[in-house]
């Protein structure tokens, strides 16, 4: 009888919407578009339902995302600048 195989931990790879760098999901910051209201929220726990977009946790990617409107393109909805600013402030505190 064959030995049962141990499951390896799956580490999904995601792409930063601003700089296009790929990295493990845990290293990036997630923004989620809620399915019903189509509002964009900062998702630090990466558990909210809905379409997600990711950014690198550095200020350059935040500026690039604002300039290019890359989160809006990925999430297919207008993103309020305050959402990005709130996420950036939350990251600076940690």
pLDDT at residue 4, rounded to an integer = 65
Q: Is the pLDDT of residue 94 over 70?
A: no
Region of residue 10 (phi > 0: left; psi between -120 and 50: alpha; otherwise: beta): beta
31-63 burial by CB neighbour count: b if 16+ within 10 A, else e?
Answer: bbbeeeeeebbbbeeeebebebbbbbbeeebbe
pLDDT at residue 2, rounded to an integer = 65
pLDDT digits (tens, 9 = 90+) for 20-73: 999 999 999 999 999 999 999 999 999 999 999 999 999 999 999 999 999 999
Q: Is the pLDDT of residue 93 over 60?
A: no
Q: Alpha-carbon distance 85 to 42, whole Å? A: 10
Averaged pLDDT for residues 68-93: 90
The domains of the chain, with CATH numbers, are 13-93 (3.30.1230.10)
pLDDT at residue 41, rounded to an integer = 95
- Residue 66 near residue 23 (C-beta atoms within 8 A): no
Specify the higher pLDDT residue, 7 or 32. 32
């Amino acid at each position: 009888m064959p030995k049962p195989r141990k499951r390896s931990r799956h580490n999904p790879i995601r792409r930063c919407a601003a700089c296009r760098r790929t990295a493990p999901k845990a290293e990036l910051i997630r923004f989620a578009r809620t399915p019903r209201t189509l509002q964009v929220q900062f998702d630090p726990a990466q558990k909210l339902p809905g379409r997600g977009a990711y950014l690198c946790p550095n200020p350059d990617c935040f500026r690039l995302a604002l300039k290019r409107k890359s989160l809006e393109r990925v999430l297919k909805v207008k993103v309020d600048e305050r959402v990005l600013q709130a996420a950036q402030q939350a990251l600076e505190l940690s």
